[in-house]
Amino acid sequence: MIGIDTTAIRLMKYKDTLKKLKSLGLVKVFSDNLADSIGVSPSLVRKDFSFFDISGYKRGGYYIDELLEKLNVVLGRNTLHKLVIAGAGKLGLALCNYKGFQDEYIKILALFDIDEEKVNPESPIPILPAESLRAFVAEHRVTLGIITVPEDAAQRTADNMILGGIKGILNFTPLQIRVPKKCVVNTVNLELELDNLIFQISGKNINGKGETGDAEE
């Protein structure tokens, strides 16, 4: 939620809608349709596409297949992304099996843990010793890493990932991780998500100053 690019998120939502429209047999779509489906103005839809040099047909809208393909390119979904997870605790294992991460273009190669008891190279997705992280990443040219290790090991783990050649990190610790400019860290702070929920329901009960969510009647 911090530093997240709102345009990219809209592109992903367009993609979702397009997939649903396609499954209904539709072939073309207008900026107006997409705008309605995700709750923005048609101008913004056109501007988003235009920004990424995706053009439609005056009077004819956009062809769904064509649009999907172009969005996939922009979103990086036309090449395979290799991924490792540091930390084979409950969260790491949960993410490893998370359905949303099973995708043609995402491959989870291994988990890593410092605890020898957890190491198991024979597991369907091997669990390897933490000290082999950097070499593994380098050898397999892994580009994405997920960090679910304890807070005090987070920065060290990130450093190793980056030395190995990882370009993007999804960080599940509440810590602010520092990386070189050429890399990206996105932090998912679950604690903050819960805090935020508590704030919102507290606000609703006490006075009108709490913010409204994405709820509807």
Partner DNA sequence: TAGATTGTTAATCGATTAACAATC
Q: Considering only residues 10-49, where is the footprint of DNA by CB under 7 A?
A: 30-32, 40-44, 46-47, 49
Minimum separation from the CB atom of position 45 to DNA (A): 8
Nearer to DNA, 21 or 169 (CB): 21
- DSSP-derived secondary structure for 4-22: --HHHHHHHHHHHHHHHHH
Distances 13 to 36, 100, 144, 174 between C-alpha atoms, Å: 12, 15, 22, 27
Short-list 172, 173, 169, CA closest to 185: 169
**Residues between 49 and 88 that touch DNA (CB under 7 A):** 49-50, 55-62
Minimum separation from the CB atom of position 63 to DNA (A): 11
Minimum separation from the CB atom of position 192 to DNA (A): 16
Residue 169 binds which entry of DNA, its own copies, none, CB below 5-8 Å type-dependent: its own copies
User: Do residues 214 and 206 touch, judged by C-beta distance below 8 A?
Assistant: no
Burial class of residue 188 (count of CB atoms within 10 Å of its CB; 0-12, 13-18, 19+): middle
Nearer to DNA, 75 or 114 (CB): 75
Neighbours of 30 (CB within 10 A): 16
Nearer to DNA, 61 or 126 (CB): 61
State the binding string over 102-141 for DNA (x if CB under 7 A, else -): ----------------------------------------
Nearer to DNA, 45 or 158 (CB): 45
User: Do residues 133 and 84 touch, judged by C-beta distance below 8 A?
Assistant: yes
Minimum separation from the CB atom of position 51 to its own copies (A): 7
Residue 184 binds which entry of DNA, its own copies, none, CB below 5-8 Å type-dependent: its own copies
d(CA 101, CA 91): 14
Minimum separation from the CB atom of position 93 to its own copies (A): 6
Angle between helices 42-51 and 6-23 (to 10 degrees): 110
